[in-house]
């Protein structure tokens, strides 16, 4: 059981709030959110732009600060059943395992600083979160609580960057990614084990299952890991720009402490670790000033999910192959527009298609990934040449089937269900230029 829970911790780290494929959170700023992050690697709105492409630091004048937050309001429901073996009757039984709105709301903050030293050099730093998840069953003895009654993961990424101008049109940038991750997974026995124990006692046998609501395992783990990013940016004198950015994979070595239920022996504490690779991703983007008031932008983003495959756990005395994942590389396409109403007001809008990293056969309750459509809009108000405030909103709808099949051999149980969900994102960003 303890190795199963470590697997769930990994699943949590690679999940996210169903707002991006696999485990990525896309909410790096409320400014870009208004156009569904179309053109994110090519458009230098404010200091937050370095989070997508470090080379754009040279497109930002002087010293700038940008800080904001995105409120994530998901509504994820599953219609499911658990099928389990009854040793008394020798038959399979079913229990309702529906989950309604089991992913709570969250806030993803961000902070960025940039300084253009001269026309050749610029540097900056960003602090944000790229991965995270919280999910919880309505009760400790829920029919699917054995798959994880509570999952919580918090990450913080520190990203210092530097940019260099090759000439007046081209710049390159480089950065270091320092990621801290902390997570907790709790699993409890489901309520249907009480019924099985009662039937066993009725025929003169001893109870064979932990009572419903019993803590089966609790695991927590953390790590600090490093990666890098680089980018290229081209900007013409006519308001057109192109950008390419690459963010490297980050290798985590999760180390966990466990309290594992072992029947009459009580709780056994063991330690284990697992190496997990958070995949690399790259983005190509362009923006074109069609008129003095209208700018169009587009992005193509690729994430190397195929590198996330075997989950191997190391524990006292050996190692074991937990699960062979079947992830595929995913793509994201976005198209957006900015429209200047007057000297103070700017409108943004965008649409995106976000491809899932898993197919129906390999979707789980912990990673309910599916294809998504983004519909975004936003406004910016310039109080002065120094201060700008952005507001944005995005609606994300899942598309296609969301079938889930997941087994738990230790309890002889099979979970089958269908997940359906949508997400609202609301963002605000304040940017100040010196």
- How does pLDDT run across 247-275, given as a tens digit for each residue? 999 888 877 766 666 666 566 667 777 77
Residue 430 or 143, more confident: 430
For 236-253, b/e burial (b = at least 16 CB within 10 A) is eeeeebbbbbbbbbbebe
Band (15; pLDDT cuts 50, 70, 90) = very low
Does residue 413 carry a pLDDT above 70? Answer: yes
Average pLDDT, integer, range 277-284: 90
Overall average pLDDT of the 311-319 stretch = 65
What percent of the chain stands above pLDDT 90?
Answer: 46
Q: What is the mean pLDDT of residues 56-81?
A: 92
Across 365-389, average pLDDT: 87
Q: Which of 122, 127, 125, 129 is closest to 173 using CA atoms?
A: 122
Two structure tokens written together for 298 = 């587009």
Q: Which of 144-153, 337-346, 420-429 is the least confident region?
A: 144-153
pLDDT per residue as tens digits for the range 163-202: 999 999 999 999 999 999 887 778 888 898 899 899 999 9
Is the pLDDT confidence value at 7 over 70? no
Quote the CA–CA distance of 227 and 252 in Å, as a whole number.
10
**For the domain that residue 211 is a member of, what is the CATH number?**
2.40.160.60
Mean pLDDT in the chain? 84
Q: In angstroms, what CA-CA distances link 143 with 149, 186, 191?
A: 10, 15, 6
- Residues 74-99 have a mean pLDDT of 88
Per the model's pLDDT, the better-predicted residue between 294 and 1 turns out to be 294
The percent of residues above 70 in pLDDT, for the chain, comes to 83
Mean pLDDT of 8-16: 40
Q: What is the mean pLDDT of residues 229-246?
A: 94
Decide which of 158 and 129 is more confident. 158
Q: Find out whether 309 and 275 touch, Cβ atoms under 8 Å.
A: no
Residue 299 has a pLDDT of: 97
d(CA 352, CA 33): 11
Write out the residue range of the structural domain in which residue 285 sits: 2-433
Q: What is the pLDDT of residues 90-136, one digit of tens each?
A: 899 999 888 887 778 888 899 999 999 999 999 999 999 866 667 77
Using CB atoms within 10 A of its CB, is residue 71 exposed (0-12), middle (13-18) or buried (19+)?
Answer: middle
Mean pLDDT computed over 309-322: 62
The CA distance from 299 to 246, in Å, is 13
Check residues 345 and 216 and name the one with the higher pLDDT.
345
Better-scored residue on pLDDT, 39 or 11 = 39
Q: Which residue has the higher pLDDT, 259 or 161?
A: 161
Q: What is the pTM of this model?
A: 0.85
CA angle 59, 239, 303 (to 5 degrees): 65
Residue 108 has φ and ψ, to the nearest 5°, of -110, 105
**Contact residues for 145 (Cβ-Cβ < 8 A; gap 6+):** 137, 139, 187, 188, 189, 190, 213
Distance CA 51, CA 39 (A): 13
Does residue 58 have a pLDDT over 80?
yes
Total domain count, the chain: 1
Give the residue carrying structure tokens 């923006």: 287
Residues 6+ apart with CB under 8 A from 228: 174, 175, 176, 177, 247, 248
């Amino acid at each position: 059981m303890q190795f199963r829970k470590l697997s769930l911790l990994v699943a949590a780290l690679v999940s996210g709030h169903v707002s991006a494929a696999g485990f990525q959170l896309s909410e790096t700023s409320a400014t870009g959110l208004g156009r569904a992050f179309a053109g994110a690697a090519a458009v230098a709105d404010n200091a937050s732009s370095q989070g997508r492409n470090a080379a754009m630091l040279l497109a930002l004048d002087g010293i700038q600060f940008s800080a904001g937050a995105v409120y994530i309001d998901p509504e994820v429901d599953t219609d499911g059943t658990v099928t389990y073996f009854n040793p008394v009757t020798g038959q399979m039984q079913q229990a309702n395992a529906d989950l309604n709105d089991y992913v709570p709301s969250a806030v993803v903050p961000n902070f960025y600083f940039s300084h253009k030293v001269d026309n050749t050099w610029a540097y900056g730093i960003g602090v944000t979160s790229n991965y995270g998840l919280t999910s919880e069953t309505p009760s400790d003895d829920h029919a699917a609580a054995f798959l994880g009654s509570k999952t919580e993961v918090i990450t913080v990424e520190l990203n210092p960057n530097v940019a260099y101008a090759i000439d007046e049109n081209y710049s390159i940038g480089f950065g270091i990614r320092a990621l801290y991750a902390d997570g907790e997974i709790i699993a409890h026995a489901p309520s249907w084990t009480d019924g099985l124990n009662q039937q066993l006692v009725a025929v003169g046998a001893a109870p064979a299952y932990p009572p419903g609501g019993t803590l089966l395992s609790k695991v927590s783990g953390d790590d600090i890991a490093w990666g890098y990013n680089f980018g290229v940016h081209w900007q013409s004198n006519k308001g057109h720009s192109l950008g390419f950015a690459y963010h490297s994979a980050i290798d985590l070595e999760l180390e966990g402490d466990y309290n594992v239920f072992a029947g009459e022996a009580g709780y056994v504490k063991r330690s284990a670790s697992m190496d997990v690779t958070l995949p690399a991703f790259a983005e190509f983007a362009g923006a074109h000033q069609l008129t003095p008031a209208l700018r169009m932008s587009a992005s193509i983003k690729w994430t190397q999910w195929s590198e996330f495959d075997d989950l191997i756990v190391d524990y006292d005395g050996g190692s074991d192959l937990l699960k062979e994942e079947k992830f595929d590389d995913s793509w994201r396409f976005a198209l957006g527009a900015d429209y200047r109403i007057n000297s103070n007001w700017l409108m943004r809008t965008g649409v995106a298609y976000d491809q899932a990293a898993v197919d129906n056969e390999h979707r789980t309750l912990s990673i309910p990934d599916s294809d998504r459509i983004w519909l975004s809009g936003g406004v910016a108000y310039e109080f002065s040449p120094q201060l700008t405030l952005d507001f944005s909103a995005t609606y994300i709808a899942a598309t296609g089937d969301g079938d889930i099949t997941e087994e738990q051999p230790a309890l002889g149980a099979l979970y089958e269900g269908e997940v359906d969900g949508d997400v609202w994102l609301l963002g605000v960003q304040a940017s100040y230029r010196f």
